[in-house]
Amino acid sequence: MQVAKSMRVTKAVVPVAGLGTRFLPATKAIPKEMLPVVDRPAIQYVVEEAVAAGLDDVLFVTGRHKTPLEDHFDRNVELEQALSSKGDDEKLAAVRASDGLARVHYVRQGAPRGLGHAVLMAQQHVGHEAFAVLLGDDLIDPRDQVLEEMIALRQEHGGSVVCLMEVPAEQISLYGCAAATVVDGHVRVTDLIEKPPVDQAPSNLAVIGRYVLDPVVFDVLERTQPGRGGEIQLTDALRELAQMPAEIGGGVRGVVFRGRRYDTGDRLSYLQAVIQLALERDDLGPPLKQWLMSRLVDGEGK
């Protein structure tokens, strides 16, 4: 079925079924997405980013042990009453901010069979519309929005859009990697490979966790065989989409992102996110900067 390419994109799919093993033991009993970045769980930034781009319908693809995440995007009436009777309007607003953000839905993945499989779980909810996928581990600095540009590209040309970032060659094996050419001022993706060894990577353009997908991706994912790591890879489905004709929803374009992006599932990048975002805050930024400078000068960071 052909989908009107100009139709507004309103749905975001956020896969959060991962185990968070890179952050153990912190993530033994809480979902990795709930680790705080300054004073909000990492996943709240992702939902705020979706909403800022006009995606007010959010489907989480969850797994077992993700109840705290579901609670975070729900009301907490007891806490609200306690804050309200104390007259603490500021904290009350902070508590209410996450439940009023978007229309939130959940579907369970069951077995962790890969990112492609997680996206396939969204088929019934999404239907025949183009939709966005935001990976919970990727935190885009709120000052550097990229989704709107990706959605605009989809609306102009149809097909699917990936977010690309140049990375040092030795890091490309951590990402999906795109072969791309520049056509009419934007990037046309010709091929994609999931986590290639550096000597087999066609470029240093890494796919980062933001996608705008044509719903034909579901048909492709249904026949995508397990790939790297024995998992059904979204990158493999995108590779097929890149080679499919535009008339049936094929074609993959890319937006090259040059802003700040953090991998909150990685300890070093997580710390950088916390520090960077705290430095930008009016309340915490100035004293944190002063402390950091004195630590670096006096103690050389030790």
- Residue (of 281, 247, 250, 105) closest to 188 by Cα position: 250
Among 20, 176, 249, 251, which residue sits at the site for ligand G1P (rule: CB under 6 A)? 176
Residue 115 or 213 with smaller CB distance to ligand G1P: 115
**Does 138 contact ligand G1P by CB under 6 A?**
yes
3-state SS string for 134-150: ECCCEEECCCCCCHHHH
**Does 135 contact ligand G1P by CB under 6 A?**
yes
Residue 95 or 193 with smaller CB distance to ligand G1P: 193
**Does 208 contact ligand G1P by CB under 6 A?**
yes
Amino acid letter at 179?
A: A
Two structure tokens written together for 227: 């790939």
Residue 115 or 122 with smaller CB distance to ligand G1P: 115
Instruction: Dihedral sign for Cα 270, 52, 260, 203, please.
Output: positive
- Residue (of 250, 255, 221, 256) closest to 159 by Cα position: 250
**Does 175 contact ligand G1P by CB under 6 A?**
yes
Dist CA 124 CA 57 (whole Å):
14
Q: Which of the stretches 95-103, 123-131, 135-143, 287-295 binds ligand G1P when contact is defined by CB under 6 A? A: 135-143
Among 69, 119, 207, 217, which residue sits at the site for ligand G1P (rule: CB under 6 A)? 207
Q: Which of the stretches 25-33, 38-46, 201-209, 217-225 binds ligand G1P when contact is defined by CB under 6 A? A: 201-209
Among 9, 61, 115, 150, which residue sits at the site for ligand G1P (rule: CB under 6 A)? 115
List the x/- string, 58-97, binding to ligand G1P by CB under 6 A. ----------------------------------------
Task: Tell which positions 241-300 bind ligand G1P, by CB under 6 A.
Answer: none
**Does 134 contact ligand G1P by CB under 6 A?**
no
CB 262 within 8 A of CB 139: yes
Which residues have a Cβ under 8 Å from the Cβ of 254 and sit 6 or more positions away? 161, 162, 163, 164, 178, 180, 186, 187, 188, 189, 205
Cβ-in-10-Å burial (0-12, 13-18, 19+) of 48 comes to middle
* Cβ at position 274, least distance to ligand G1P in Å: 19
- Residue (of 211, 1, 40) closest to 127 by Cα position: 1
Q: Which residues contribute to the site for ligand G1P (CB under 6 A)?
A: 115, 135, 137-138, 175-176, 194, 206-209, 233, 235
